[in-house]
């Protein structure tokens, strides 16, 4: 489903990436796009704080209720995945040709949407969360494979430069 969503958005959404000739310009562009991917994480932190405040737990450091635990786990996992996603997108931006730089905001949007889907499905039940997690993890895995391919096969002479 993820490749179909990315391909459809790439073809049908009417925007192009700005001209980014240098690696530093590409990294700044990636950093600016990645700021939008933090929206689901910040939203999760707000909901987690509200659920902790509204919790009827008598001990603040005691056992957490399910409603509080869901949001805390979501935020923790999302932060870990965002770090991996961001670093892979930054490396990907250095290897992509100019025509394909439109993928950076599309992958950012996919990350944000898939984390929100994971959050909703995780709240419904633990057995439903695999869909949202796979929509986050599989593009991350594809980026990692493409980055390793780019580093070791396409440009092995520029591996550390």
105-130 pLDDT, tens digit each: 999 999 999 999 998 888 787 677 88
Could you tell me if residue 16 is inside a domain?
no
- Indicate whether 35 pLDDT > 90: yes
Report the alpha-carbon angle 39-114-124, nearest 5. Answer: 100
66-100 pLDDT, tens digit each: 777 888 888 999 999 999 999 999 999 988 888 88
Domain range for 98 is 22-160
Task: Specify the number of domains making up the chain.
Answer: 1
Could you tell me if residue 7 is inside a domain?
no
Could you tell me if residue 66 is inside a domain?
yes
For residue 88, the model assigns a pLDDT of 94
Could you tell me if residue 11 is inside a domain?
no
Report which of residues 109 and 158 the model is more confident about: 109
Could you tell me if residue 91 is inside a domain?
yes
Mean pLDDT of 127-153: 87
- Where does the chain have alpha helices with state H? 2-12, 23-37, 39-54, 66-95, 103-124, 129-149
CATH number of domain containing 94: 1.20.120
- Indicate whether 60 pLDDT > 70: no
- How would you class 54 by CB atoms within 10 Å of its CB: exposed for 0-12, middle for 13-18, buried for 19 or more? exposed
Percent of the chain clearing pLDDT 90 (strictly above): 37
* Three-state secondary-structure class, residue 6: helix
For residue 140, the model assigns a pLDDT of 93
Could you tell me if residue 15 is inside a domain?
no
Could you tell me if residue 51 is inside a domain?
yes
Could you tell me if residue 98 is inside a domain?
yes
Which tokens hold the place of 69?
């635990």
């Amino acid at each position: 489903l993820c490749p179909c969503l990315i391909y459809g958005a790439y073809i049908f959404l009417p925007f192009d990436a700005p001209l980014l000739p240098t690696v530093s310009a590409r990294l700044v562009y990636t950093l600016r796009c990645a700021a939008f991917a933090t929206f689901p994480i910040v939203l999760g932190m707000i909901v987690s704080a509200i659920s902790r405040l509204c919790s009827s737990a008598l001990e603040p450091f005691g056992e957490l209720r399910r409603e509080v635990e869901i949001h805390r786990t979501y935020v923790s996992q999302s932060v870990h995945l965002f770090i991996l996603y961001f670093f892979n997108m930054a490396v990907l931006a250095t290897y992509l040709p100019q025509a394909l730089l439109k993928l950076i905001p599309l992958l950012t949007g996919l990350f944000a949407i898939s984390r929100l889907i994971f959050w909703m499905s995780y709240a419904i039940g633990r057995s439903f969360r695999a869909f949202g997690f796979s929509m986050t993890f599989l593009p991350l895995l594809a980026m990692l494979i493409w980055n390793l391919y780019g580093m070791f096969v396409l440009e092995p002479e520029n591996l550390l430069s």
